[in-house]
Chain A
Amino acid sequence: MSVQTDAERALVATSQLVKRYGSQTALDGVDLQVPVGSVYGLVGPNGSGKTTLLSILAGLRRPSAGRSEVRADPGRVALVPDTPRFDPWLTAWECVDLARHLTAPHLPGERVDAALTQTGLAEAADRRCGGFSRGMLQRLGLATAVVSDPELLLLDEPCSALDPAGRREVLDLVAGFRGRATVLFSSHVLGDVQEICDTVGVLRRGTLLFQGPLADLLHGHARAGYALRLRAPVEPVAALLARQPWVTDVDAAAPDLLHVGVSDTDDAERHLPRLLADAGARMVSLVPLQPDLESVFLELTR
Chain B
Amino acid sequence: MTAEGMQRSGAGTVARRRPMSLWRLERLRLLRSRRLVVLLGVFTFFGLTGPMLARYMGELLERFGGGVTVTVPEPVPADGITQYLANSSQIGVLVVLVVAAGALAFDATPELAAFLRARTPVRRLLMPRYVLSVLAAGTAFTVGMLAAWYETQVLLGGLPVGAMLVGIGLSWLYLAFAVAVVAVASALTRSVLATVALSAGLLLTLPIVGVVEPLRRWLPSHLVGAPDALLRGAAAADYTMAALATAAATVGLLLAAVRMLRRREL
**Which positions in A face B, CB cutoff 8 Å?**
55, 58-62, 75, 77-79, 81, 83-87, 89-90, 93-94, 97-103, 108-110, 112-113, 125-126, 141, 144
Interface presence of B154 (CB below 8 A): no
Interface presence of B211 (CB below 8 A): no
Residue of B nearest to A77 (CB): B118
Partner of B115, one of A61, A62, A77, A86: A86
Contact residues in B for A87 (Cβ distance below 8 Å): 25, 28-29, 112
Residue of B nearest to A94 (CB): B20
Besides the known contacts A83-B111, A85-B109, 20 further A-B residue pairs in the complex with CB atoms under 8 A apart: A55-B265, A58-B118, A60-B114, A60-B118, A60-B266, A61-B266, A77-B118, A79-B118, A81-B111, A81-B115, A86-B112, A89-B28, A89-B32, A94-B20, A97-B3, A101-B19, A101-B20, A102-B22, A109-B2, A126-B8
Give the distance in Å from the alpha carbon of A121 to the alpha carbon of B119 in the complex.
22
Cβ contact within 8 Å between B19 and A55: no
8 contacts between A and B (CB under 8 A): A78-B118, A81-B110, A94-B28, A97-B3, A98-B25, A109-B4, A112-B3, A126-B7
Q: A93-B7, A108-B2, A125-B7 are in contact. Are A99 and B19 (CB under 8 A)?
A: no
Contact residues in A for B109 (Cβ distance below 8 Å): 85
Give the distance in Å from the alpha carbon of A84 to the alpha carbon of B110 in the complex.
9
Contact residues in A for B212 (Cβ distance below 8 Å): none
Residue of A nearest to B8 (CB): A126
Give the distance in Å from the alpha carbon of A94 to the alpha carbon of B211 in the complex.
50
Q: In which size bucket is the chain B interface?
A: 20 to 34
Interface presence of B17 (CB below 8 A): yes
Nearest-neighbour CB distance to chain B for A84, whole angstroms, equals 6
| Closest 4 pairs (CB-CB, A-B) | A109-B3, A85-B111, A89-B32, A98-B20
Partner of A110, one of B2, B20, B21: B2
Cβ contact within 8 Å between A89 and B33: yes
Give the distance in Å from the alpha carbon of A90 to the alpha carbon of B17 in the complex.
12
Give the distance in Å from the alpha carbon of A141 to the alpha carbon of B19 in the complex.
19
Contact residues in B for A75 (Cβ distance below 8 Å): 119
Contact residues in A for B19 (Cβ distance below 8 Å): 97, 101, 109
Give the distance in Å from the alpha carbon of A78 to the alpha carbon of B119 in the complex.
8
Cβ contact within 8 Å between A90 and B28: yes
Contact residues in B for A109 (Cβ distance below 8 Å): 1-5, 19
Residue of B nearest to A19 (CB): B265
Residue of A nearest to B1 (CB): A113
Interface presence of B69 (CB below 8 A): no
Cβ contact within 8 Å between B114 and A89: no
Contact residues in A for B9 (Cβ distance below 8 Å): 126
Cβ contact within 8 Å between B119 and A103: yes
Give the distance in Å from the alpha carbon of A135 to the alpha carbon of B233 in the complex.
64
